[in-house]
């Protein structure tokens, strides 16, 4: 994987935002906000977000009424904080790419809940995934994109999950592996499938066993086949992600011939 671009490490947090009026907050943003790295038409930028920002109130001040309502449905404070931090940072990132006030962004969701920017003629596409301490955001221009990250953990029932949700090809590939490679391969398969359905935006309405991804160690990430269209597989690119030790992920893009740049927030190295 390429090294993260050291020219853009940190989006400064507008620390004094909390409690200030809208106008003052805008001025604070203008003063402290760095521009996003240039996103070329053939690039995907993958961001790894770690550690909650200390100032959750500043993040909350960026969110819409609807986002705050969603956040308030979490019963546990750490889940509220996590939601607010992730959605606040998502707004900051997207606002930086669009060179606009992050609070002015309007999101819409499709019938299956996939969010997109509603701004007319907006070419920026994004997708977000969270697992324990890691959140990832992928952005690109004018292509369907999906990202999934999972903490690799013991799953005692992985065989029954795989046999109910994975395709015959995937189950055969998993069964052929030595036991110690089963769990990493299970999560590789899971995240590749999930990133694909997230890019498609269809949620679980797309049967998970109706398409197959590569899973074997060392096999290039790929969409091997789709029941509904033999031409679908070759249109897609999948990438393997390891944003942190103990985490695995996948990026799916309906496009070929693109490059990926990796960024970390806050400043840190990402090793994939």
Ligand X SMILES: CC(C)(COP(=O)(O)OP(=O)(O)OC[C@H]1O[C@@H](n2cnc3c(N)ncnc32)[C@H](O)[C@@H]1OP(=O)(O)O)[C@@H](O)C(=O)NCCC(=O)NCCS
Binding-site ranges for ligand X (CB under 6 A) = 86, 112-115, 127-130, 146, 148, 165, 190, 193-194, 197-198, 201, 203-204, 208
Q: How many residues are listed for the chain in this entry?
A: 272
Strands (E), 152-232: 211-213, 223-226
Min dist. Cβ of residue 220 to ligand X (A)? 19
**227 conformational bin, left if phi > 0, alpha if psi -120 to 50, beta if neither:** alpha
Min dist. Cβ of residue 211 to ligand X (A)? 10
Query: Which residue, 203 or 266, is less far from ligand X as judged by CB?
Result: 203
Min dist. Cβ of residue 231 to ligand X (A)? 22
Cis peptide before 156 (omega within 30 of 0): no
Query: Which residue, 115 or 246, is less far from ligand X as judged by CB?
Result: 115
Cα separation, 119 vs 106, in Å, equals 7
Min dist. Cβ of residue 48 to ligand X (A)? 13
Helix (H) or strand (E) holding 238: strand 237-241
Query: Which residue, 22 or 75, is less far from ligand X as judged by CB?
Result: 75
Q: How far is CA 14 from CA 9, 22, 31, in A?
A: 16, 13, 9
Query: Which residue, 9 or 116, is less far from ligand X as judged by CB?
Result: 116
Min dist. Cβ of residue 165 to ligand X (A)? 5
Query: Which residue, 26 or 163, is less far from ligand X as judged by CB?
Result: 163
């Amino acid at each position: 994987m390429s090294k993260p671009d050291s020219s853009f490490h940190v989006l400064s947090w507008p620390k004094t935002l909390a409690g200030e009026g809208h106008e003052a907050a805008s001025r604070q943003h203008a003063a402290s906000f760095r521009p996003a790295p240039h996103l070329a038409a053939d690039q995907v930028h993958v961001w790894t977000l770690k550690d909650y920002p200390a100032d959750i109130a500043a993040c909350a001040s960026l969110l819409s009424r609807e986002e705050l309502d969603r956040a308030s449905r979490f019963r546990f404070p750490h889940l509220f904080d996590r939601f607010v931090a992730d959605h606040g940072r998502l707004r900051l990132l997207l606002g930086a790419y669009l060179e606009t006030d992050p609070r002015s962004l309007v999101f819409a969701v499709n019938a299956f809940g996939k969010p997109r920017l509603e701004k007319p003629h907006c070419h920026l596409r994004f997708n977000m995934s969270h697992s324990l301490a890691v959140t990832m955001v992928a952005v690109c221009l004018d292509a369907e994109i999906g990202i999934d990250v999972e903490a690799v953990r013991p799953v005692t029932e992985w065989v029954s999950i795989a046999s109910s949700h994975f395709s015959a090809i995937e189950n055969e590939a998993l069964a052929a592996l030595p036991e110690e490679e089963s769990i990493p391969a299970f999560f590789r398969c899971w995240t590749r499938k999930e990133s694909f359905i997230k890019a498609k935006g269809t949620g679980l309405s797309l049967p998970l066993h109706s398409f197959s991804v590569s899973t074997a160690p060392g096999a290039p990430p790929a969409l091997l086949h789709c029941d509904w269209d033999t031409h679908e597989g070759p249109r897609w690119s999948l990438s393997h992600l390891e944003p942190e030790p103990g985490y695995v992920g996948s990026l799916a893009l309906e496009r070929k011939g693109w490059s990926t740049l990796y960024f970390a927030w806050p400043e840190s190295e990402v090793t994939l």
